Amino acid sequence: MNYLQYYPVDIVNGEGTRCTLFVSGCTHACKGCYNQKSWSFSAGVPFNHAMEEQILKDLKDTRIKRQGLSLSGGDPLHPQNITALLPLVQRIKRECPDKDIWVWTGYRLEELDETQQQMLPYIDVLIDGKFIQEQADPALVWRGSANQVIHRFTHID
């Protein structure tokens, strides 16, 4: 998996102060996409062990307290990205159980296949659905168009 951007301190992509990773690769081709350069799976740079360590270090940072990690893109739930992201979210929940994980995807929740569903136990908030320009509304919070749904999951250990 490649990624385009990593923001160690971010206050606009989800609630609270967060770390945000924009991964590469998306096949939804939404008209009016805000980030077309993220469509290519080879855009950006490889997500490696050092990057994973950096994210964990930032989440554990007590000087600037982060509420959690946001995964955007691109599409973090494209099957090609799951191989890299599943171990990451599992590790975060193991080592930082108090941090929440937000994910933006162009798939609808009910469309997710078995591979993609493996991510769900580790996701606290999922914003799903393609961006539909005709339903775009700048007044919406955390989503770009009215068709997209904010799912807040409650996980019982």
Q: Applying CB under 6 A, which part among 10-18, 28-36, 56-64, 82-90 lies near ligand SF4?
A: 28-36
Q: Rounded to an integer, what distance in angstroms lies between the CA atom of residue 94 and that of residue 40?
A: 31
108 is a contact residue toward ligand SF4 (CB under 6 A):
no
128 is a contact residue toward ligand SF4 (CB under 6 A):
no
Measured from the CB atom, is 59 or 112 closer to ligand SF4?
112
Number of residues lying near ligand SF4 (CB under 6 A): 13
102 is a contact residue toward ligand SF4 (CB under 6 A):
no
Q: Applying CB under 6 A, which part among 12-20, 67-75, 86-94, 108-116 lies near ligand SF4?
A: 67-75
Measured from the CB atom, is 115 or 147 closer to ligand SF4?
147
Q: How far is the CB of 119 from ligand SF4 (least distance, A)?
A: 16
Q: How far is the CB of 105 from ligand SF4 (least distance, A)?
A: 7
Which of 82, 69, 92, 70 is CA-nearest to residue 25? 82
122 is a contact residue toward ligand SF4 (CB under 6 A):
no
Sheet arrangement for strand 45-46: 45-46, 2-10, 18-23, 68-72, 100-104, 125-128, 149-152
**Which residue stretches of 4-78 are H helix?**
49-60
Which of 112, 121, 114, 107 is CA-nearest to residue 149? 107
Which of 82, 64, 61 is CA-nearest to residue 73? 82
The 30-49 contact track toward ligand SF4, x by CB under 6 A, reads: x--x-x--x-----------
With b for 16 or more beta-carbon neighbours within 10 A and e for fewer, the 71-102 pattern comes to bbbbbbbbeebbebbeebbeebbeebeebbbb
Binding-site ranges for ligand SF4 (CB under 6 A):
26, 28-30, 33, 35, 38, 73-75, 106, 130-131
